[in-house]
Homo-oligomer: A and B are copies of this chain.
Amino acid sequence: MSNEHTGGSPRTLKTVSRAFDVVRALEELDGARVTELADHLDLSKSVVYNYLSTLREEKYVVKDGDTYQLSLQFLLVGEYVRYQNILYRIGKSEIEDLAEKTGEYAHLATEQHGLGVNLYKVSGETAVGSDYQVNKLQRADYLHFSATGKAILAHLPRERVDWIIDRYGLPAKTEATITDRDELFEELETVRERGYSLNDEEEIKGLQAIGAPVTNRHGRVLGSISVSGPVRRMKQPEYHQNLIESVINTANVIEVNVNMEESDDEFPTFS
């Protein structure tokens, strides 16, 4: 039975996609056995077995008794990737200083595939929730309801922001989350004008954050930083103003150092 066979271009390698389906399934299931995976993925046991064996040979999967798990190989490669990121290399210590100086949580984030990824986060002395924010497992998250996210969005080309909204929508996390496209663009305009972004309980009730972008010399946004804390404290006028200045200042310091290091380079957009 001849189908439409060999697809268009670029031709996706189904075997590779399926391998990553297995990886995703192992993550969702927190490790699994062959049969369980076969059911979950709607593949035959023998096929799943071959994928697992191959992934194991490549060291991306370990077998613990009859249970297969993702291995720390992902962490090793992941830390390599993070280290490759100049924003991380330069920003890490600055963010630590910022957290120490302000006493609040400080975050360093970037964008990838239209979502925000935290490169680093550190908790200051007076930060609430005792490391909850820092120890929690993070995933890539929407950009429109975080201070780091809005600082990034505000400095991406409009078409890219539209693409991101088309792709992921503007889901609400609290009542304060901006869920309307036009409203978001107005907010981003404000962010650009005043030089910093604000997350006013739009992600978590009771939590406010102040963010600022880091751009390279071509104006491309490399990522952003933020500090966050309880609204009660964050709203005190002098405190608030001080934080804004600290955040913007730190972002500028990072920016200068990044641009001093980046010698050559380009201006395209990631995808």
Contact = CB atoms under 8 A, between A and B. Distances in A.
Interface string A109-120: 010110001010
Nearest to A140: B76
A33 to B, nearest CB: 12
A12 interface: yes
B117 A60 contact: no
B268 A64 contact: yes
B72 A110 contact: yes
A37 to B, nearest CB: 15
A63 interface: yes
Interface in A73-94: 73-85, 92
A58 interface: yes
A88 B127 CA distance: 22
Task: Please indicate which of the listed interface residues A16, A56, A138 has the most CB atoms of chain B within 10 Å of its own CB.
Answer: A16
- Classify chain A's interface size: 35 or more
Contacts of A71: 81, 112-113
A27 interface: yes
A189 B23 CA distance: 39
A82 B72 contact: yes
Q: How many copies does the complex hold?
A: 2
Interface stretch (A46-54, A175-183, A191-199, A228-236): A46-54
Contacts of A56: 271
A183 B53 CA distance: 35
B76 A81 contact: no
A151 B79 CA distance: 25
Contact of A15 (B16, B60, B110, B137): B16
Contact of A16 (B19, B81, B112, B138): B19
A161 interface: no
Contacts of A74: 74, 77-78, 80-81
A210 to B, nearest CB: 24
A13 interface: yes
Contacts of A72: 78, 81-82, 85, 110, 112, 117, 119, 140
Nearest to A138: B79
A83 B119 CA distance: 16
A269 B200 CA distance: 49
